[in-house]
Structure 1
Amino acid sequence: MWNNLVLKLILLVGLINFINGDSAPRVVCYYDSRSSLKDGLGKVLPTDLLPGLSQCTHLVYGYAGIKANDFKLSPLISNEELDVNNGLYKQVTSLKTQYPSLKVLLSVGGDADETFEKYLALLESSTGRIAFTNSVNVVLKQFGFDGLDLAFQFPKNKPKKVRSTLGSVWHSFKKTIGAAGKPVDENAETHKDQFTSLVVELKNSFRIDNYELAVTILPNVNITWYFDTASLKNYVDYINIAAFDIYTPVRNPKEADYVAPTLSITDRNVDDNVDYASTYFVANGLPGNKIVIGLPTYGRAWSIEKDATITGSPPIATNGPAPQAVQTRTPGLYSYPEICNMLLNDQNKNLKGELAPLRKIVDSTKRYGLYAFRLPDDNGNHGVWVGYEDPDSAGNKAAFVKGKGLGGVSIFDLSTEDIRGSCTGGQTKFPILQKVKEKLK
């Protein structure tokens, strides 16, 4: 009798949380803990997130990894993360004292943990999956997390070239007959089944504590290969599609193009957009309110050649990543505040060379996305092309999500947002996050 009562209470709590969780769109805010190790403007600590957290339904701490020898959950920065009093894990979950309704999840993988091979090895080992599941539960309980974000590191699709419609059809046919080169994962079908088993095992182990389980699909992972929607839909709280980085200067050093289009673009691969991914999952049985669309708070930047088109309209020939900026300190990667301060303004309008302003091109169709560029000088130097999101474009994407009845938007991530309000003279902090929240209401 007592066991039956406990079971009924668990089911009742689960039902209440299900109803509450689906009553309003999710705003899932990622925090990349590697930013805590940086210096200067790039350094972002958990307490720096506080002004933005009122806009978030979820805060996701990234990233943990897995050990190759025993498949147990492992911190990626250092063991200091696991200090039960003041480690980063504890600092992040302690933010719930100021925002009690905030769900704080721990993310595993996220392209932060070495290579994908050990993740496939985990799937292939039934004992490894058990060890991983047990270790996850220990960490969630010990540090007060509300669940797990499984940002599993599958092999990536091979980099794509911009193709015409006819070229896309021919390429798809070649893939079907095996003429487009060796597949990135010859055992994808087996790995799909094993991933389903892992998700089921995790969720079943979470039920007693009512932990949430999210699955994040990382950029350039084939959604048709690894995700059995019909089998997953009852075991995930939501699936988060990181619908960006379709082109990056590392994957595509010779050609820049829209990095996160909302809708399909003429003469492009038909699956390289937000609409395709969300439509695929709905068509395969996943409820729309379990689909969350991810957008970046950073831009991907290329160095462009002297003979680049004067309009900057992509696709555009490039020379690899653009030089690094002062905050992100990574070639080809600019935070939103770095980009907004590079746009034409009163302070830079007369500057030349590497300090000359970028020209912003707005997408009035709300289809393709936003970009900004600076043509090379007479010597062929200092040309930059960057695809990115700003508050308006992010708001357009949130409106698209709401219009399709999807489950919300995820922000990748708060550490590259304008947390100090530098784009507005200190008047507005977290402007992308705020616009997303406003459009989802």
Structure 2
Amino acid sequence: MGTPKQFLFLELFMQLLRIAFGKNMVCYWDMKSSIGYRYSKFTSNHLIQGSANCSHLVYASAHFDAITFEIHFPQHDPPLPIFKPKTLKQSHPKLKVYLSLGGDDDANDKYDQLKYLHLMEGSEHAQQKFIIRTIKFLKLHQFDGLDLAFPLPRNQPSQQSNIGAFLNDVNRMWGSPTTT
């Protein structure tokens, strides 16, 4: 756990960044940071305190099942803390909280490593099913938006050709009143 002097320095540093870069400050919190050791341990209490300096928070990370398209938080031992954005918004009402989906640790086997690529190149029906389930998950957990942290294969640009169309579909359905 950090000392009060370290937290004061961090608070001052964050305030200087806000002055230097304007009113928007995007912060990133990985659930796994709560299992760090000593100074690298960053708990949900630190998150609540530090969010005062953030205009946006990216909460990492959730995964999805390649067959059912269900979004879920990863299982860890010991269990990681999962918070609801509502908790942060009670003390920071202007904060926008986004869920990060994907990440490099979302790959249990070779098929899992390609599931994001298969989704983007998959059928429109599969993509719409994924989008609808994702929006339901975001609303259930009260997130304001989604950060797509899809771990794509390296050095295979020909297989990444449909990403633009997929992202346009996500954006169109996110703003569509029929998906609520």
Give the TM-score normalised by the residue count of structure 2.
0.71
Question: How far has the Cα of 1:186 moved from its partner?
Answer: 5.5
SS in structure 1 of the partner of residue 72 of structure 2: strand
Corresponding residue for 1:205? 173
**In the alignment, does 2:153 pair up with 1:118?**
no
Corresponding residue for 1:223? none
Would the aligned equivalents of 1:56 and 1:102 in 2 still touch at CA under 8 Å?
Answer: yes
Corresponding residue for 1:104? 97
- Higher RCO (CA 8 Å, separation ≥ 6 residues): 2
Instruction: Name the CA distance, whole Å, in 2 between partners of 1:54 and 1:108.
Output: 24
**Can you list the C-alpha shifts for 1:286-329, whole angstroms capped at 9, x where unaligned?**
xxxxxxxxxxxxxxxxxxxxxxxxxxxxxxxxxxxxxxxxxxxx
Corresponding residue for 1:88? 82
Instruction: Name the CA distance, whole Å, in 2 between partners of 1:28 and 1:145.
Output: 15
Question: How far has the Cα of 1:76 moved from its partner?
Answer: 1.8
**Can you list the C-alpha shifts for 1:77-133, whole angstroms capped at 9, x where unaligned?**
35x77xxxxx6141x441111110000000011223126411111112123312221
SS in structure 2 of the partner of residue 187 of structure 1: helix
Corresponding residue for 1:187? 158
Corresponding residue for 2:67? 69
Corresponding residue for 2:143? 145
Instruction: Name the CA distance, whole Å, in 1 between partners of 2:139 and 2:167.
Output: 18
The alpha-carbon distance between structure 1 residues 29 and 65, as it changes in their structure 2 partners (threshold 3 A), is same
In structure 1, runs of 5+ residues without a counterpart are: 1-23, 82-86, 157-183, 210-441
The alpha-carbon distance between structure 1 residues 122 and 54, as it changes in their structure 2 partners (threshold 3 A), is same
SS in structure 1 of the partner of residue 25 of structure 2: strand
Question: How far has the Cα of 1:200 moved from its partner?
Answer: 1.7
Indicate the RMSD between aligned Cα atoms, in angstroms: 2.4
Relative to total residues, which structure has the larger helix share, 1 or 2? 2
The alpha-carbon distance between structure 1 residues 202 and 186, as it changes in their structure 2 partners (threshold 3 A), is closer
Letter in structure 2 aligned against 1:185: Q
In structure 2, runs of 5+ residues without a counterpart are: 1-21
The alpha-carbon distance between structure 1 residues 95 and 69, as it changes in their structure 2 partners (threshold 3 A), is same
Would the aligned equivalents of 1:57 and 1:101 in 2 still touch at CA under 8 Å?
Answer: yes
Question: How far has the Cα of 1:141 moved from its partner?
Answer: 0.6
**Can you list the C-alpha shifts for 1:223-268, whole angstroms capped at 9, x where unaligned?**
xxxxxxxxxxxxxxxxxxxxxxxxxxxxxxxxxxxxxxxxxxxxxx
Corresponding residue for 2:14? none
The alpha-carbon distance between structure 1 residues 28 and 153, as it changes in their structure 2 partners (threshold 3 A), is same
Q: Which has the larger radius of gyration?
A: 1
Would the aligned equivalents of 1:70 and 1:128 in 2 still touch at CA under 8 Å?
Answer: no
Question: How far has the Cα of 1:204 moved from its partner?
Answer: 1.8
Would the aligned equivalents of 1:71 and 1:122 in 2 still touch at CA under 8 Å?
Answer: no
Question: How far has the Cα of 1:53 moved from its partner?
Answer: 1.6
Q: Percent sequence identity over matched residues?
A: 32
Question: How far has the Cα of 1:39 moved from its partner?
Answer: 4.9
**Can you list the C-alpha shifts for 1:390-435, whole angstroms capped at 9, x where unaligned?**
xxxxxxxxxxxxxxxxxxxxxxxxxxxxxxxxxxxxxxxxxxxxxx
Instruction: Name the CA distance, whole Å, in 2 between partners of 1:61 and 1:99.
Output: 15
Give the TM-score normalised by the residue count of structure 1.
0.31
Instruction: Name the CA distance, whole Å, in 2 between partners of 1:201 and 1:100.
Output: 29
The alpha-carbon distance between structure 1 residues 186 and 57, as it changes in their structure 2 partners (threshold 3 A), is closer
Question: How far has the Cα of 1:25 moved from its partner?
Answer: 5.5
Alignment of 1:155-170 (within 5 A): 155-156=153-154
Question: How far has the Cα of 1:208 moved from its partner?
Answer: 4.7
